[in-house]
Amino acid sequence: MSELLDFGGGESQIGSAGFPNSTGRATDCAEPGWSSVSWHSGLSLYWGEGRPASIGAFHGHRRAIAVKRVFDVAGSFGALALLLPLLLVVAALIKFSSPGPVFFVQQREGLGGKLFGILKFRTMESQICDPSGLSHTLPGDRRVTAFGRFLRRTSIDELPQLLNVLRGEMSLVGPRPHVPGMLALGRPFDEIVPYYRLRYAVLPGITGWAQANGLRGCIRNGRAATARVDHDLAYIQNWSLWLDCRILVLTLWREIVTGTGE
């Protein structure tokens, strides 16, 4: 018998062995320790011994990592060439609309938890912003500039991260990079979700499966925190170039066309 759980970002079905794969076809429980599968906005997440299993396209497969890297570099170069006029206009408007630098650099945890400086267009007043990132931005936050609100709503503030991708610190698609000591509900994230750090098995992304399904912004309860991590791990287990393309299109529609960014 299976149990249906509502995680707020789509329903997740937890069942027993005889797992369906990412194409929806049932497979045998071929790996020792696998005990169940859950579904997260249509992607399967395999479980064993109370935590997600360490399987997926990236697990021990250098070819998959190389293919993804080529996709990232080509996509980033193409996007930067296409968006260069927009980036220059945005940089000029930031410079002239409020005092301070054009870019905001913040320490984030990347592959294996290694720290790197993530790039963003500055959206806050430089004198009162929180460089640690532990203080969440709330609706109507007085630290955000008028132009910054537009950049956040459309996610244009994230575009400088294309440079992080070219530097090998990020991927176009992957779990979003968190600040060191990331909190959820006022507690360390890994206290809420014990297997939280499994998401550091791959490069972080400009966007991810969680974000493409609306799981972003402030975390309001433990189920929302769990859903966000489970979506990230389902992406890692089911990665393909087609999935990356799908996530990029979903993100473009959700964040830029409909303007639902935060």
Residue 176 C-beta-side C-alpha neighbours within 13 Å: 20
CB 158 within 8 A of CB 205: no
Cβ 215 vs Cβ 231: under 8 Å: yes
> Mean pLDDT across the stretch 236-241?
93
What pLDDT is stored for residue 214 in this prediction?
87
Q: What is the pLDDT of residue 15?
A: 35
Beta-strand relationship, 51-52 and 43-48: antiparallel
Enumerate helices (H) and strands (E) in the chain, giving the number of each. 7, 11
Compute the distance between CA of residue 180 and CA of residue 178 in angstroms, rounded to an integer: 7
Which long-range CB contacts under 8 A does 181-185 form with residues at least 24 apart? 181/134, 182/109, 182/134, 183/134, 184/219, 184/222, 184/225, 185/219, 185/221, 185/222, 185/225
Choice between 202 and 11, residue whose per-residue pLDDT is larger: 202
Tens digits of residue pLDDT in 11-45: 333 333 333 343 333 333 345 455 678 888 889 88
pLDDT at residue 132, as a whole number: 56
Q: How high is the mean pLDDT of the chain?
A: 82
User: Both tokens of residue 136?
Assistant: 């969440």
Q: SS3 for 235?
A: helix
For residue 104, the Cα-to-chain-centroid distance in whole angstroms is: 19
- pLDDT of the residue at 85: 98
- DSSP, collapsed to helix, strand or coil, labels residue 158 as helix
Angle of the 222-238 helix axis to the 241-251 helix axis, nearest 10: 140
- The residues pairing with 52 across neighbouring beta strands, listed in sequence order, are 47
Contact residues for 9 (Cβ-Cβ < 8 A; gap 6+) = 40, 41, 210, 213, 214, 215, 224, 227, 228, 231
Percent of the chain clearing pLDDT 90 (strictly above): 55
> Which pLDDT tens digit goes with each residue over 85-129?
999 999 999 999 999 999 999 999 999 999 999 999 999 987 666
Helix/strand/coil percent split, the chain, to 5 = 40, 20, 40
Per domain, the residue ranges of the chain are: 62-262
